[in-house]
Amino acid sequence: MRSLIPLVQALVIVFGAPLLRGVVSKLKARLQGRQGASVWRPYADLGKLFRKEDLVPPLASPLFWMAPRIVFAATAAAVLLIPVFQPAAVFGSPGDFVLLVGLLALARFFLVLGAMDGGGAFGGMGGSREALVSALAEAPFLLGITAVAIMARSTQLAGIVTWTLGQNFFDISAVHILAFSALAMVAVAETGRVPVDNPTTHLELTMIHEAMVLEHSGPSLAFLEWANSIKLGLLLSLLIGLFFPWGMAAGFSLPVLALAAGAYAAKMAALALVLAAVESSVAKMRMYAVPDFLGIASATGALAVVFTAFGGR
Amino acid sequence: MVWSSIALAVSLVGFAAVIPAAWIAARTRWLSWLPGTTLACSLLFGTFVGIVLISSTRPLRLDLGVAPFQFGIEIDPLASFFLILICAVSLPVILYAAAYLPRHYSPVQTQWIWGLTSLFLLSMALVVVASTGFAFLVGWELMTLLSAALILVDGTSKERLHNLFIYLLMMHVGAGVVAASFFAFLPASGGLHFSALRASGALLTPGARSVIFLLAFVGFGTKAGIIPLHLWLPKAHPIAPTPVSALMSGLMLKTAVYGFVRFTFDFLGGGPAWAGYVVLLAGAVSGVLGVLYAIGEHDLKRLLAYHSVENIGIIYMGLGAALIFLENDAPAWAAVAVVAALFHTLNHALFKSLLFLGAGAIADATHTLDIDELGGLVKRLPITGIAFLIGCASIVGLPPLNGFVSELLIFQSFLAGSTLAALPAQVILPLMAGVLALIGGLAAACFAKVYGVAFLGRARTAAAESAQEVPPMMLSGMGLLAASCIGLGVFPRLALDTLFSVAQTLVPGSSPPTEIAGLQRILVATTVAVLGIGLLTMAARVRRRVTAPWACGLPGLTTRMQYTSASFSKPIRAVFAAVYKADRKLDVLPANRPYFPSSISYRSVRTTSFERSLYRPMTNVVVTLATGMRRLQTGNIQVYLLYIFLTLVALLAMLGVQE
Amino acid sequence: MILLLPLLIPLVGAAVLLGFGTGGRARVLALVIGAAEIFAVIRVVLAVYFEQPLQFGRFLRADALSAFFLLNLALVSGLALVYSFDYLQHIEGNRFSSPRWFYTLVFFFVFTMVGVCLSANLGLLWIMMEATTLASALLVGFYNTRGAVEAGWKYLIVCTVGIAFALFGTIVLYLAAIRSGLSPDAALDWMALMESVPRLGGEISLLKLAFVFVIVGYGTKVGFVPMHSWLPDAHAEAPSPISALLSAVLLNCAMYTLLRYDAIVARAIGASFSHTLLLGFGVASLVTAGLLIIVQRDLKRLLAYSSIEHMGIVAIGVGLGGTLGLYGALLHTFNHSLGKSLLFFAAGNVRQNFGTSRMDRIGGLARSSPQAAMALSLGTVAIVGLPPFALFVSEFAILSEAFAQSQILVAALFLATLSIVFGGMFHHLSGMLFREEQSAASTRLEWSEALPIAITVLGLAWLGVHIPAGLQGLIERAIAVL
Amino acid sequence: MDLVQFAAGKTLSSSAVFLLVTVLLLAAAQRVSTSIKLFALQSAIITAQVMATAYTEKSAEAWVVAAMVFGLKVIAIPSTLLWLVERLKTRRAVEPTISGAKAVFVAVFMIFLSYAAVQPYALESHIAADALSSAVALILVGAFLMVNRRKALMQIIGLLVLENGIFLAALATTFGMPLVIEIGIFFDLLMGILIMGIFAFRIRDTFDHLDVTKLRRLRG
């Protein structure tokens, strides 16, 4: 019974991700004065897509239909490392956040390869832009987590979370602010949200993620969409875990777990609201402005690391 | 101990026996497998010697005669690790070569290549096990000479000769500097035996220590390909026969790493205080610039050569971190950093050889190495495609493979840097984690480009269209390397435990910290998770229909619509334009009526900035000095007589002054 | 008595050849006399090696040092004679340049060089050196073309002037010896001078003056840089076997004389003065010749400059002194003579095939005559001082002595020049081997050309790996003599 | 007997002056044949000096040396050179690079230089100072002649004057070397002149002129 709790955490993120996406689009619609689709719409989409047949270009290689599944598997495996209700995730060892970054990189690598196998121009275009964005995003991603890890003097996600639990919310240190902003920018860039890439558009000039999944259809497209929403859920849970873990259950008794679940849901809703507000207020950046955006993110990440040396240790 | 010396003797005889075997093989049809198997046997024995000695406390010491200078062999754990690396990694390459050579070269050329390759491997082994300065330098220069001979066997066009000339010249200068670093010990150590050097290392003056360290850094840096000294690497590796360029890129660079480690850790015991930072920064610069230059390339072998520069940069970052830990007396983490660097050396040897062999297979099937002329190869060369994919994934450092494990260890040692007392170490080491992540990201972009353009999508030329799968021997070579990449990726303890015992000898008083122990458990767990979920998703029976994709209303997708390597890397090259400084040439014909062009031609040539700004001025200085000297020889006898009288008068005047 | 034999045989041989060496017989006769000469010299070397040094009358003496140089002389002159067996058919037989005259002059030349090595008296040493110039001048001008005559004339005049100054140096040394109480006829005897060194110490300024004149004089014969201008012309224009003899043996004999004088002066007034001079000339020769090698256009001139460079290395070795320095210097003279004769033999064959030795007109050597190409490349690898061959060992010794005495500037210049020379030589070699096809008749090596080349390559490789005990012993005894 | 004694003493002291005169004339000489005759005169003076020293030192060897010097340098070599001059039918003119007047100035400067250089040595080693300085003067002017003259024959003469200077220096300082060595040196000198003659013929045949400065084919 005791070892099942972490598994439940993982299932919550995996199956809750489409709901998260629905909530975000609902909130965005509301903010823009629209009725917006129902919160459960993403589940309907996935169900529809799973029933459809999978269209494969004539000259595509087996990698074309295997890539979406590998992307989904890698992202789902990454979820196993994220603490949700409890500081301890399913797997934990020193340096596991590097493994997290690695798994996300594995997912992205096969996403780009699957896109290029389609044989069309859009796959290559999406792939090349994704390559640039992810190349520039990986440094601030790691620098952010490193800064927090140095403050917590532990290289394990669980260790960082337990250390942050021990701190009180109000004496927030500069390192945390800088690290949070860096990681937030990276989260936006990684999941292809508005300032970097518009998830809902099919405009050639701007789309990055959509361009890659253009050729896929049926179950492959379902897996890709699902993996993308899991990634969003995963990154937001990581942010919560690293910066606002208060409310996570220490023990295993039922009431404590219920409280933790409630706190997690509330925090996730708050983040969704923030994300929706940002998306509806900021216009999408030009393609060649993205490197500067990520440059700022890496600068803040580096500054966070530098401040750990001078700041409160 | 007796067994290892017998095995060593047998492997030496084996190396030498390859030459007559190659000679016989060239003459008879059915004996063509002979040189390959002899070489393979001697390599097996070499690996056996390495394995036996890597964990033994007493190194095997042989003094082979005094001749003019001591010529001895000593195999201690560090030497045996590199011996294993050289012999084990070259086994699959030999397997590959057995099938590759007859298909590409005439029997005589094959005979030459077999003979020279076995001597090449022997010289590398000699460098690694040498125990005196003289033996080391003999092996060091022979290695360059034999690789140059191997390049010459492959062809002698003007452009190849120019590249070979640059390669040989830089290697000779590097060897000169290495010799100087050995000789710099002489005033203190008397002899050149490693034990004498080790003893005198401690009692060197700080000035001498930093001079020797700098000489060793520059000397071995030239051979390893650290950024300002890397000019020869993308010129020399691509022009060698494929199995040889795999050996050169995979193993020859490692002998430079071995030399550097032997000097800084074993002789100088960590070098001067600032040594770690120099090595760290040089590694970082080499890593970033190496991968950026690789992104701009579309010739596969040259791209892989630039990636060697990048990976050597990563290894040097690990060594730099180890030196900094040693300086701030944190031996435990110093050992981890050294182990990380050595493990990345082994991994790089594996996946770089795999990638070069893959490139050779592509060249064998399509007779071209320009990835813009390939495309859709994974359908026609399935097994090569899979092996190349594993190679690409591991060089980029994706989780289930060995590249990721060594980069993870290096990340951890960077993180541990924050616990050091010295302020600069606290700041620089964690920042290097960001640089390493940037290198990893750019490498992912580069290899996504290579694999996507070359193996996926539609075949761009008839050659790519009609490619045939390569013979099974070549596939088995690549398969062996791919399997070892996966094996070390999922079960790193196979190598890490022995590597820690090697690190003990280099960094005294260090026990492996606890964090590393749990590493293998989580790697196995995540791999099982990924495979499980993956299989789960693929289990569902899916109706699949093949239709032509939507081509925006055009009759059909043509191959020209696909992204080529230049277009794929355009965004990154635009962002890092400062590095490329490509000079573009756009000419529109006819010139006077620009708006009605009959033909437009665009050419963008990227000359490496180092060649223009650093190397050409140096050579110009020497050549102008020489032509100036030529005028001394005027041809007029009276001037010659004047030279003699002037010298005499000058010397007499000097004598007069001295009085 | 056996000391006289190596001197008599070449003289008698020269006379016999002059007498009835006409027609084809000259070549066979020369080989016979050559064999006898080598046998006699080897006997002397063995006698000196096993027993103590030999003395004959007041003038002839053979100790370990002269035995070492005699061994080198015998080996190279034997190879040159074998090589010239076939090399000579293409010389038309007009006055002064027929095979008969060729062999007469060669044996006269060998006589003078043996005389240099065996003479105990510094005056006789000078006379023999002057005689070598005279003998070889006609050999340099043997082809009677415009270039050969010009080279011969310059060689004769410049060397005679140089040698004249050496005579003046010898006289000043003689004066110093007389003033320090030696009897007139013992004043020039090398052994007597060595024994009376403490007394000689008093004449510091005279000894310095003598050594300055001697180093400028004999330095001209060795080809130190300011006085080297005659060497490229002479070695390039002479027939190839003669250039081999000139480069490999004559330069060594000149260096031998300098060694003799350096021994006396260093013992008398301390090594610093003479060694700094030798180091200075050595480094100057090394660097200038190294640089000039890059811009050469003629193959044989290239090899001549390489000889100047290697003589600079030997001078540096002697200038450094110490066991390793001298050992490296002596070994280097031996290795260099092997390597240089190999290269000149190969160059001779290339010159016959292409009719010219201008490198831009030699091309496609690798295809048209692979054996000559192989010999040339092995020779270049050896002469540049790369490991498998012996020159690496001797340069290693000299370099380690330079570092041991922490002569950083000398060592740095040495290493830099080695790389520059490597670059230059490889550039020229790859041009010749692989440039597109020239209209060359593809010829195989004659046996008489292939044999000496094979012997030199084997010698270089064998010495590169292991120095035989005999040679090692001989060199150590030679160092002891100095 | 004192008359001979007196004559020997006189020749020793005054010969230096005569030598300097011959040197100046040589520097100014216009024609090859006059240069050869001047060289013969110079050698004659040196023979006189050798005879004087032989007499004062009472050494039989010196007499033999004197005879050799006379036979070789006064008779044999000049006559061969003169025979060469007609055979080669070279133009009489000497064509120096630096014209006559200036050449003489240079010679004078050289003589002054040699005196200045020799003074410190001569005083403390009590050798006949002027003999040694005239020897050094001969050497310097001989060297100057070789550098200055264009004609091959004139270079030979320059060399001979240099040789004379060295021989005189040997004579002045140590009253001559052992006989065997002296004979060897002279024999070498004779052989040298013979071979230079052969080369002069060859230059004549191949280049049709004897101008040494035009031999500039071998360069670089």
- What are the tens digits of pLDDT across the range D186-196? 899 999 999 99
With CB atoms and an 8 Å threshold, state whether A134 touches B540: no
Q: CA of B629: which chain D residue's CA is closest?
A: D220
Q: How many domains does chain B have?
A: 1
Give which of D165, D119, D131, D130 is closest to D26, Cα–Cα: D165
Amino acid at B586: L
For chain D, list residues whose CB is within 8 angstroms of any CB belonging to chain C.
121, 125, 139, 143, 146, 152, 155, 159, 162-163, 166, 169-170, 173-174, 177-178, 180-181, 184-185, 187-188, 191-192, 195-196, 198-199, 202-203, 206-207, 212, 215, 217-218, 220
| Residues B283, B303 contacting (CB under 8 angstroms) | no
User: Per residue in B7-46, pLDDT tens?
Assistant: 888 888 888 888 888 888 877 777 778 888 888 888 988 8
Structure tokens at B292: 């950026």
pLDDT over 70 at D164, yes or no:
yes
Q: Domain range spanning residue C477? A: 271-482
Could you say which of B161, B186, B639 has the minimum Cβ distance to residue C400? B186
What pTM was computed for the model?
A: 0.91
Q: What is the predicted ipTM?
A: 0.89
Q: CA of B440: which chain A residue's CA is closest?
A: A135
**For tokens 């180092």, what's the residue?**
B610
Give which of B68, B259, B220 is closest to C401, Cα–Cα: B68
Could you tell me the mean pLDDT of each successive run of 10 residues in chain C, 482 residues long? Answer: 83 84 75 90 88 79 89 92 80 64 90 91 91 91 85 92 92 86 81 84 84 93 91 90 92 93 88 91 94 92 94 94 89 94 91 83 84 92 90 92 90 94 93 76 75 91 85 85 78
* B-chain residues near C317 (CB < 8 A): none
Q: Is C322 left (phi over 0), alpha (psi -120 to 50) or beta?
A: left
With CB atoms and an 8 Å threshold, state whether B634 touches D213: no
Amino acid at C1: M
| Residues C157, B641 contacting (CB under 8 angstroms) | yes
CA dist B49 and B42 (Å) reads 11
- Number of C/D CB contacts below 8 angstroms equals 113
Which residues, other chains included, contact D62 with Cβ-Cβ below 8 Å and sequence gap of 6+? D50, D51, D53, D54, D175, D176
Q: Range with the lowest mean pLDDT among A199-203, B384-388, B483-487?
A: A199-203
Q: How many domains does chain C have?
A: 1
Q: Does residue C29 lie within any of the structural domains?
A: no
Structure tokens at D186: 């002279």
Cα distances from C449 to residues B234, B506, C80, C105, C371, in angstroms, run: 42, 55, 9, 21, 11
pLDDT over 70 at D91, yes or no:
no
Percentage of chain B surpassing pLDDT 70?
A: 97
Cα distances from C368 to residues C55, C86, C450, D51, D177, in angstroms, run: 53, 20, 16, 69, 59
| Residues C403, B188 contacting (CB under 8 angstroms) | no
pLDDT over 70 at B606, yes or no:
no
Could you say which of D97, D148, D216 has the minimum Cβ distance to residue B635? D216
| Residues B422, A305 contacting (CB under 8 angstroms) | no
With CB atoms and an 8 Å threshold, state whether B179 touches C415: yes
**For tokens 């008093």, what's the residue?**
C202
Q: CA of B650: which chain C residue's CA is closest?
A: C212
With CB atoms and an 8 Å threshold, state whether B638 touches D215: no
Strands B599-605 and B583-589: antiparallel
- Number of B/D CB contacts below 8 angstroms equals 31
* D-chain residues near B633 (CB < 8 A): 219-220
- Number of B/C CB contacts below 8 angstroms equals 140
Could you say which of D117, D146, D216 has the minimum Cβ distance to residue B636? D216
Distance to chain C for D3, nearest Cα, Å: 30
* B-chain residues near D217 (CB < 8 A): 635
Per-residue pLDDT of chain A (313 residues; tens, 9 = 90+): 667 777 888 888 899 999 999 999 999 899 989 888 888 999 999 999 988 888 888 888 888 889 999 999 999 999 988 888 888 778 878 888 999 999 999 999 999 999 988 878 888 888 999 999 999 999 999 999 999 998 888 888 888 888 888 887 777 788 889 999 999 999 999 888 888 888 877 777 778 888 888 888 889 999 999 999 999 999 999 999 888 888 787 777 888 888 888 989 999 999 999 999 998 888 888 888 888 999 999 999 999 998 888 765 4
CA dist B201 and B189 (Å) reads 8
Cα distances from B636 to residues B631, C163, D147, in angstroms, run: 11, 20, 10
* C-chain residues near D170 (CB < 8 A): 171, 174
Distance to chain D for C148, nearest Cα, Å: 10
In B442-577, where do the E strands start and end? Answer: 544-546
State the best of B386, B418, B427 to mutate against chain A, taking most chain A CBs within 10 Å.
Answer: B418
With CB atoms and an 8 Å threshold, state whether C124 touches D184: yes
Q: If DSSP states are collapsed to H, E and C, what string results for B197-265? A: HHHHHHCCCHHHHHHHHHHHHHHHHHHHCCHHHCCCHHHHHHHCCHHHHHHHHHHHHHHHHHHHHHHHH
Q: Does residue C411 lie within any of the structural domains?
A: yes
CA dist D203 and B8 (Å) reads 68
User: Per residue in A156-168, pLDDT tens?
Assistant: 888 888 888 888 7
CA dist A299 and A280 (Å) reads 26
B122: Cα separation from own chain's centroid: 18
Q: CA of B644: which chain C residue's CA is closest?
A: C227
Counting as contact any 3 or more CB pairs under 8 A, the partners of C are B, D
Could you say which of C96, C175, C236 has the minimum Cβ distance to residue D174? C175
Give which of B270, B180, B296, B281 is closest to B228, Cα–Cα: B281
Strands B544-546 and A54-56: parallel
Report the 10 Å Cβ neighbour count for A139.
28
State the best of B622, B646, B657 to mutate against chain C, taking most chain C CBs within 10 Å.
Answer: B622
pLDDT over 60 at D123, yes or no:
no
Residue D155: phi and psi, rounded to 5, are -65, -35
Q: Domain range spanning residue B337? A: 273-512
Could you say which of B141, B640, B651 has the minimum Cβ distance to residue C229? B640
Strands C54-56 and C60-62: antiparallel
Q: Please name the residues between 283 and 302 in chain C that touch chain D, using a CB distance below 8 Å.
A: 295-297, 301
State the best of B429, B456, B575 to mutate against chain A, taking most chain A CBs within 10 Å.
Answer: B456
Do C and A touch (≥3 CB pairs < 8 Å)?
no
Report the 10 Å Cβ neighbour count for B1.
11
SS3 B507: coil
Report the 10 Å Cβ neighbour count for C413.
19
pLDDT (0 to 100) of residue B68: 66
Residue D81: phi and psi, rounded to 5, are -60, -45
State the best of D167, D174, D193, D219 to mutate against chain C, taking most chain C CBs within 10 Å.
Answer: D174
* A-chain residues near B423 (CB < 8 A): 309
pLDDT (0 to 100) of residue B478: 93
Could you say which of B630, B635, B642 has the minimum Cβ distance to residue D218? B635
With CB atoms and an 8 Å threshold, state whether D146 touches B641: yes
With CB atoms and an 8 Å threshold, state whether D155 touches C157: yes
Q: Does residue C210 lie within any of the structural domains?
A: no
Q: Does residue C2 lie within any of the structural domains?
A: no
User: Per residue in B290-331, pLDDT tens?
Assistant: 999 999 888 999 999 999 999 999 999 999 999 999 888 888
pLDDT over 80 at B540, yes or no:
no
Q: Does residue C370 lie within any of the structural domains?
A: yes
SS3 C401: helix
* B-chain residues near C165 (CB < 8 A): 644, 648
Report the 10 Å Cβ neighbour count for D216.
12
Strands B583-589 and B72-75: unpaired
CA dist B184 and A30 (Å) reads 76
User: Per residue in B44-96, pLDDT tens?
Assistant: 888 888 888 887 777 777 777 665 677 888 888 899 999 999 999 999 999 99
Distance to chain C for B598, nearest Cα, Å: 38
Q: Does residue C430 lie within any of the structural domains?
A: yes
Distance to chain A for B562, nearest Cα, Å: 5
* Residue D216: pLDDT band with limits 50, 70, 90: confident
Structure tokens at A230: 């899991």
SS3 C166: helix
| Residues C255, C333 contacting (CB under 8 angstroms) | yes
Distance to chain C for D52, nearest Cα, Å: 20
Collect contacts of B111-115 with beta carbons under 8 A, ≥24 apart.
Answer: B111/B22, B111/B23, B111/B25, B111/B26, B111/B35, B112/B22, B112/B153, B113/B150, B113/B153, B113/B241, B113/B244, B114/B18, B114/B19, B114/B21, B114/B22, B114/B25, B114/B35, B114/B36, B114/B39, B115/B18, B115/B19, B115/B22, B115/B23, B115/B35
Following CA atoms B118, B119, B123, B124 in sequence, which dihedral angle do they give, to the nearest 10 degrees? -30
With CB atoms and an 8 Å threshold, state whether D146 touches B642: no
With CB atoms and an 8 Å threshold, state whether B183 touches C386: no
